[in-house]
């Protein structure tokens, strides 16, 4: 499948990645979705654009990935009730995105089978659509209870339900998990999310474009580098800002440090969930040292606000680059020892192998993305498939497994840690000279841009539209957890209830990045 095959009237965006924007009608929408799905393409995101009264009509939008790059489809809607064609026949992962779009903007998918609200828990005023133009926002009085949610019931002898959440014993964010079980065996899991809906996408429209990278970096705190880079890429694309090589390399350095930090933390937590507290202790120690040095180098342990429009906010000097390179050597030695411990620990492997399995065929059908997808033979990694600067010169080695169980997801994490350490050493050793930041200048006209970054969890996508006054009309941030939360429901089926925390942690999906 090529872009020429789609016969789209499209415009290339100014992003460093191959991203195109095309306006289509309903038939073009269906044709593109069918053709791209038929060739193994992926749905990245679905969202809507609301514009002020008297301006252009509202639009339904979808981002679809194919071999050549990404296509941003826009379907203008002269009448909002007319809606847009349902995408779930080609991409099942579109369901929750479409339900969220209806909740936020009142734009419905034609023919959608699931009409339940997703982000609206019954605590908004009747008829409220937070992203509709000129909408006055108001909630129900304090103390109001959420509306009942129509969970799917499983009937049969010995079947009972276990409700977990939305408030949990730990410090994780709220999410409700409804298990249907026989004995200890899980027959079905259904999730209810949206409890941390924060109004982020509405807030974007109230911020100057040069300030909004800070909000993007807070979409999901564990992916602050990924989202900030994607937002800045979108703004720089819209304003046609060309970055210096040093800025690109420093962004990649931070992105790989973020990847390592998250994998270290999760590898320790996975050991702990399988009763190997030693693993948690050792990986927590490594992660703490890692984040302390990130704080010294970039001003924040998570590197928050370190990526800014036009480049980066911090430019580490040579001695700090040497320290980061030396830290990579030290961490690699420790992680190789710990990997041997994990691989040779019979009790740990008994819990990992065969648990929470997602077969490659199911992963492909449901659109499993990112690190979890690569553990189920879904080989997408933007750093390899669409290498943008500086990844075009780093020859990233793609990690992957085919078993799709907890053991496979653990193995992919180890492999990615070692590869990221190699990339960090290469970047620290050969950082380009010159400026690390340039001015990003407004263009004073309607413009759009997109950012697409392989963050640690998977593909982060940002779509940005600016008005003639250079104010943000719409900024949509997409986390790969949208694709992966529904797959977790399938991964748990047939396992015992006690293995759910282990399976859940092996994915480690974002609540915050999902519930904007």
What DSSP assignment string belongs to 461-496? EEEEEE-TTS-EEEEEEE-THHHHHHHHHHHHTTSB
How wide is the angle at C-alpha 382 spanned by C-alphas 376 and 384, nearest 5°? Answer: 90
**Does residue 38 form part of some domain?**
yes
The two tokens of residue 268 are 């320790």
| β-bridge partners, 312 | 307
Q: Is 399 exposed, middle or buried (0-12, 13-18, 19+ CB in 10 A)?
A: buried
119 part of a folded domain: no
Q: Are residues 221 and 177 in the same domain?
A: no
Residues 167 and 211 in one domain: no
In a domain, 129, yes or no: no
Look at the chain and report how many structural domains it folds into: 3
- 441 lies in some domain: yes
**Residue 146: what pLDDT?**
85
pTM of the model: 0.96
In a domain, 149, yes or no: no
Cα(124)–Cα(202) distance, integer angstroms: 15
For residue 166, what is the enclosing H or E element? none
Cross-strand bridge partners of residue 188 = 180
CA dihedral 193, 196, 200, 201 (to 10 degrees): 20
Q: What is the DSSP letter of 242?
A: P
d(CA 400, CA 383): 14
Tokens coding 141? 């009085």
455 and 491: one domain?
no
Q: Return the CATH number at 218.
A: 1.10.645.10
Pair (165, 308) in one structural domain: no
Q: Is 477 in the same domain as 490?
A: no
**Residues 218, 181 share a domain:** no
Q: What is the CATH number of the domain that holds 180?
A: 3.30.390
DSSP state of 252: H
- End residue of a domain, out of 78, 110, 142: 110
Please report the pLDDT score of residue 2 as a whole number.
63
Looking at the structure, do residues 443 and 350 belong to the same domain, yes or no? yes
SS3 411: helix
Q: Assess whether 306 and 334 both reside in one domain.
A: yes
For 475, phi then psi, to 5°, come to -135, 115
Residue 122 lies in a domain: no
Residues 450 and 488 in one domain: no
pLDDT tens across the length of the chain (516 residues): 566 777 777 889 988 999 999 999 999 999 999 999 999 999 999 999 988 765 678 999 999 999 999 999 999 998 666 789 999 999 999 999 999 999 999 999 998 889 999 999 998 888 888 898 777 777 778 888 888 999 999 999 999 999 998 998 777 889 999 999 999 999 999 999 999 889 999 999 999 999 999 999 999 999 999 999 999 999 999 999 999 999 999 999 999 999 999 999 999 999 999 999 999 999 999 999 999 999 999 999 999 999 999 999 999 999 999 999 999 999 999 999 999 999 999 999 999 999 999 999 999 999 999 999 999 999 999 999 999 999 999 999 999 999 999 999 999 999 999 999 999 999 999 999 999 999 999 988 999 999 999 999 999 999 999 999 999 999 999 999 999 999 999 999 999 999 999 999 999 999 999 998
Give the Å distances, CA to CA, from 312 to 231, 316, 382, 439, 459: 13, 10, 21, 11, 21
Using left for φ > 0, alpha for ψ between -120 and 50, and beta otherwise, residue 477 falls in beta
Note the pLDDT of residue 124. Answer: 87
Last residue of a domain, one of 110, 134, 165: 110
Same domain, 182 and 272: no
CATH number of residue 74's parent domain: 3.30.460.80
* Residue 376, domain member (yes or no): yes
Residue 478: closest CA among 17, 94, 111, 214: 94
Q: Is residue 349 part of a domain?
A: yes
Could you list the residue range(s) of the whole structural domain that residue 443 is in?
Answer: 200-482
Same domain, 353 and 392: yes
Measured distance CA(424)–CA(428) in Å, rounded: 6
Question: Rounded to whole angstroms, how far apart are CA atoms 25 and 346?
Answer: 57
pLDDT at position 6: 72
Query: Quick one: 376 and 343 in the same domain?
Result: yes
Residue 96 — φ and ψ, nearest 5°?
-70, -35
């Amino acid at each position: 499948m090529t872009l020429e095959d789609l016969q789209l009237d499209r415009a290339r965006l100014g992003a460093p990645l191959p991203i195109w924007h095309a306006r289509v009608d309903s038939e073009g929408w269906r044709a593109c979705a069918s053709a791209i799905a038929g060739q193994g393409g992926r749905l990245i995101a679905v969202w809507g654009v609301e514009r002020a009264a008297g301006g252009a009509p509202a639009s339904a939008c979808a981002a679809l990935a194919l071999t050549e790059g990404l296509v941003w489809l826009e379907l203008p809607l002269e009448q909002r009730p007319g809606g847009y064609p349902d995408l779930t026949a080609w991409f099942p992962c579109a369901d929750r995105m479409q339900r969220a779009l209806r909740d936020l903007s009142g734009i419905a998918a034609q023919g959608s089978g699931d009409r339940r609200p997703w982000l609206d828990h019954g605590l908004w005023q009747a008829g409220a659509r937070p992203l509709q133009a000129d909408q006055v926002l108001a909630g129900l009085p304090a103390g109001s209870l959420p509306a009942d949610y129509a969970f799917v019931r499983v009937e049969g002898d010995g079947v009972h339900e276990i409700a977990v959440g939305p408030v949990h014993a730990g410090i994780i964010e709220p999410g409700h998990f409804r298990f249907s079980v026989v004995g200890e065996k899980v027959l079905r899991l259904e999730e209810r999310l949206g409890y941390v809906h924060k109004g982020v996408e509405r807030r974007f429209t109230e911020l100057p474009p040069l300030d909004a990278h800070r909000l993007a970096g807070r979409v999901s705190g564990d992916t602050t580098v990924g989202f900030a880079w994607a937002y800045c890429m979108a703004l720089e694309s819209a304003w046609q800002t060309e970055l210096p090589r040093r800025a690109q390399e420093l962004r990649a350095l931070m992105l790989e440090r973020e990847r390592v930090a998250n994998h270290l933390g999760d590898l320790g937590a996975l050991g702990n969930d399988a009763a190997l507290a030693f693993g948690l202790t050792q990986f927590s120690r490594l992660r703490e040292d890692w984040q302390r040095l990130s704080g010294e180098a970039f001003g924040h342990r998570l590197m928050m606000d370190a990526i800014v429009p036009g480049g980066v906010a911090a430019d580490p000097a040579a001695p700090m680059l040497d320290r980061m390179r030396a830290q990579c050597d030290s961490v690699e030695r420790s992680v190789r020892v710990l990997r041997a411990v994990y691989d040779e620990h019979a009790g740990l492997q008994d819990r990992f192998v065969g648990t929470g399995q997602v077969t490659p065929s199911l992963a492909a059908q449901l659109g499993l993305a990112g690190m979890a997808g690569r553990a189920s033979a879904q080989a997408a990694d933007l750093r390899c498939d669409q290498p943008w600067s500086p990844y075009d010169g780093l020859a990233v080695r793609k990690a992957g497994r085919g078993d799709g169980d907890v053991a496979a997801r653990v193995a992919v994490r180890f492999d990615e840690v070692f590869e990221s350490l190699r990339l960090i050493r290469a970047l620290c050793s050969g950082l380009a000279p010159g400026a690390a930041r340039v001015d990003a200048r407004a263009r004073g006209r309607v413009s759009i841009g997109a950012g697409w970054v392989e963050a640690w969890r998977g593909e982060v996508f940002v779509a940005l539209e600016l008005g003639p006054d250079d104010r943000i009309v719409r900024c949509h941030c997409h986390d790969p957890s949208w694709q992966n939360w529904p797959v977790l429901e399938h991964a748990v089926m047939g396992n015992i209830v006690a293995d759910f925390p282990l399976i859940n942690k092996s994915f480690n999906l974002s609540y915050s990045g999902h519930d904007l």
